[in-house]
């Protein structure tokens, strides 16, 4: 049975320089969240290292690991010891030549409750993910845990209302987005703020449209492009949690690592959907064209 209110923690981090150091940082944050009574901890996208997709380098596939594997074993041990749910984010080696950007969910007994493979894969300057990741093939299926039914999505997924809606229709009680998104340092401050506000707004809109709380955990800090082709990325942090009407419950800044802790009342979904019955009024008889790429 899900706890309500649910105390959750988002671990906004900067890269610590090595897998071992990053996992130590994760563990310290998870233990701090446990001391503060959290039942659910959300880590950022690809938390074991830098955001390596700024460049295309075949040698970087060596960073991938199987699931289950070393990281899931460590997170599993922590989840079991501290009796909380952990959502992590890994570069998954599924088979030779087959890799995914995968979220893992460890339940309070240490079991691997489920995984989600990122469905929407970007390919933009500084975000060359199609080189590394095969699109997910598991669909949009929430994961049942002691903390509730979790609709886990990953980064670029957060811009697509179809993904959020699909999770809601499958019974998700909260939407969780491990994230790695930042600014091009050459962009003007006005452009940077437009991008940040768009990112926050679209996710708050998912909360409103589906009557669900949303939590987005982003990395923070500057990371250079190893190839030197681009000016690198300054990840904008700003991790946040909002309620089912889009109201901001807690938010970090864009400057520094942060353990963001807040409570979410999962029971509010029922009341909100009664007054804003979007699911009732959906015209499912008229949406067939949504499965097409475009209406020519």
Token digits for 55?
A: 């460049």
Token digits for 89?
A: 């984010």
| Other beta carbons within 10 Å of 167 | 28
Helices of type H across 98-213: 161-169, 189-210
Number of H helices, E strands in the chain: 6, 17
134: DSSP letter: P
Q: What is the CATH number of domain 6-291?
A: 3.60.110.10
Say how far apart CA 9 and CA 215 lie, in whole Å: 9
State residue 87's pLDDT score: 99
Say how far apart CA 148 and CA 185 lie, in whole Å: 39
Catalytic machinery residues:
45, 118, 155
Say how far apart CA 200 and CA 60 lie, in whole Å: 31
Say how far apart CA 200 and CA 164 lie, in whole Å: 14
Residue with the two structure tokens 């938010």: 251
Token digits for 119?
A: 């469905």
State residue 296's pLDDT score: 87
Token digits for 264?
A: 């979410």
Domain segments of the chain: what residues?
A: 6-291
Choose among 96, 90, 93: nearest CA to 74.
90
Say how far apart CA 57 and CA 42 lie, in whole Å: 28
* CA–CA distances in Å: residue 149 to residues 90, 92, 167, 175, 181: 21, 23, 10, 9, 26
Say how far apart CA 101 and CA 137 lie, in whole Å: 11
Ordered DSSP codes for 2-44? --SSEEEEEEE----SSHHHHHHHHHHHHHHHHHTT-SEEEEP
Backbone phi, then psi, for 89, in 5-degree steps? Answer: -145, 120
Token digits for 220?
A: 């923070």
* CA–CA distances in Å: residue 246 to residues 189, 212, 223, 256: 25, 9, 31, 24
Query: Mean pLDDT for each consecutive 10-residue tract of the chain (296 residues)?
Result: 84 97 98 98 98 97 98 98 98 98 98 98 96 98 98 98 98 98 96 98 98 98 93 97 98 97 98 98 96 92
Question: Computed over its alpha carbons, how large is the radius of gyration of the chain?
Answer: 18
Say how far apart CA 89 and CA 101 lie, in whole Å: 7
Rounded to a whole number of angstroms, the distance between the first and last alpha carbons of the chain is: 47
Prediction pTM value: 0.97
Token digits for 42?
A: 């959300």
């Amino acid at each position: 049975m899900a706890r309500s209110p649910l105390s959750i923690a988002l671990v906004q981090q900067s890269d610590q320089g090595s897998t071992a150091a990053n996992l130590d940082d994760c563990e310290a944050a998870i233990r701090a969240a446990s001391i503060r009574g959290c039942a659910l901890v959300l880590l950022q996208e690809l938390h074991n290292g830098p955001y390596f997709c700024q460049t295309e380098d075949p040698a970087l596939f060596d960073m991938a690991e199987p699931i289950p594997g070393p990281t899931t074993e460590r997170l599993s041990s922590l989840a079991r010891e501290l009796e909380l749910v952990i959502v992590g984010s890994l570069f998954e080696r599924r088979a030779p030549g087959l890799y995914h950007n995968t979220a893992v969910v460890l339940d309070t007994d240490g079991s691997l409750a489920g995984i989600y493979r990122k469905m929407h894969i970007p390919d933009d300057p500084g975000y060359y993910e199609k080189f590394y990741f095969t699109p997910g093939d598991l669909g949009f299926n929430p994961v049942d845990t002691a903390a509730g039914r979790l609709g886990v999505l990953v980064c670029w997924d957060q811009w697509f209302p179809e993904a959020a809606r699909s999770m809601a229709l499958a019974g998700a009680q909260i939407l969780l987005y491990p994230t790695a998104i930042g600014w091009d340092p050459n962009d003007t401050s006005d452009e940077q703020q437009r991008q940040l506000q768009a990112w926050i707004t679209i996710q708050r809109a998912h909360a409103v449209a589906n009557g669900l709380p949303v939590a987005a955990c982003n990395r923070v800090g500057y990371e250079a492009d190893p190839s030197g082709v681009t000016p690198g990325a300054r990840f904008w942090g700003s991790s946040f949690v909002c309620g089912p009407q889009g109201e901001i419950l807690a938010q970090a800044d864009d400057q520094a690592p942060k353990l963001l802790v807040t409570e979410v009342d999962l029971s509010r979904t029922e009341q909100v959907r009664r007054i804003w019955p979007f699911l009732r009024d959906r015209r499912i008889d008229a949406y067939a064209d949504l499965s097409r790429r475009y209406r020519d």
